[in-house]
A = this chain, B = another copy of it.
């Protein structure tokens, strides 16, 4: 076994390692460092407007000539349900008062931002786009393909992976339940948080049921996880938390320190911050919201309703009132440069493979 595969060949990267496109936490420096190290840096563009995305792409291009990707959220186009919003605003009122904040005016730009983002990645010749929260329409995938853009999707179950392949995506990230941040689920399950299948279970079952290459994600932090994932049948891995705590990441010190100081049992899945299930370190905001007796407004409405609270809390160093996305392997998180992490992982991976 070696590290080249259809993933590295098709994406023209040296090593089968993706740095997850963590919306709000990636920086051009991080993305470029990963790509310059032979992996695939991914701009976490889920929350960006057109200007932010253009700027990030240009800054990445100044720092690397290697391939990189952009991650986008497939719009859900959820209706704003006025009673839900009123009810949530009442719940959030004391939080806002504590931080001296007004009730926000909702300004949902989800569809518009998505469409601009597509135009931008095409205009900027970004070679790879990764999608979360659903599969894009066939027309869109065809359009991206006509512009020689490789399209990568996300699946949290075998059915979702099959859906990705059927829709024409070129590759799929198999996101195990260990993964930090937003769950990429888009098909209904009996559970309220979508499919929560561990990486050890999920990867071989998806590999056996699709023909497109599979990228494993969820709990992978070092060479052990990389090689284990390749053994399970993945052709590459995607790491989030591992890069989130790197020096170049855009995550604030509050979040990085929370990860460094947490145990593998400290995370929960919650819709409290954004309206979509996401894994993060448990805290007061999440805990309190468990008593909320109505539907939490869907993403991106809840995300907008809590945004100012979260930002202010983070600025003030209040870890109880902001989102602390993290996977289930925080004990392996390191505070090093991304290039150093890549170099460690690649060396260790090669050692493991030589000793087989």
Contacts and interface: CB of A to CB of B under 8 A. Distances in A.
Nearest to A194: B265
A228 B224 CA distance: 8
B201 A264 contact: yes
Nearest to A217: B200
Contact of A331 (B158, B191, B198, B268): B158
Contact of A356 (B1, B191, B202, B209): B1
Contact of A204 (B231, B268, B329, B356): B329
Given A208-B331, A224-B231, A157 B201 contact: no
Interface residues of A, number: 48
A158 B263 contact: yes
Contacts of A231: 224, 227-228, 231, 352
A249 interface: no
Please name the 6 residue pairs, one residue from A and one from B, whose CB atoms are nearest each other, closest first.
Answer: A356-B356, A198-B198, A201-B219, A201-B328, A228-B228, A178-B198
B190 A178 contact: no
Contacts of A222: 204
B268 A328 contact: no
A215 to B, nearest CB: 14
Interface of A: 1, 157-159, 176-178, 189-191, 195, 197-202, 204-205, 208-209, 218-222, 224-225, 227-229, 231-233, 263-265, 268, 282, 327-329, 331-332, 352-353, 355-356
A interface majority secondary structure: loop
14 contacts: A1-B355, A157-B264, A178-B197, A178-B198, A190-B265, A195-B264, A198-B218, A199-B199, A200-B228, A202-B328, A205-B331, A225-B232, A228-B228, A228-B229
Nearest to A328: B201
Contacts of A268: 190-191
A201 to B, nearest CB: 4
Counted per complex, copies of this chain come to 2
Contacts of A225: 200, 204, 232
Nearest to A221: B204
A200 B220 contact: yes
Nearest to A228: B228
Contact of A198 (B190, B328, B352): B328
A218 B195 CA distance: 17
A235 to B, nearest CB: 13
Contacts of A208: 331-332
Contacts of A177: 177, 198
Contacts of A232: 224-225, 228
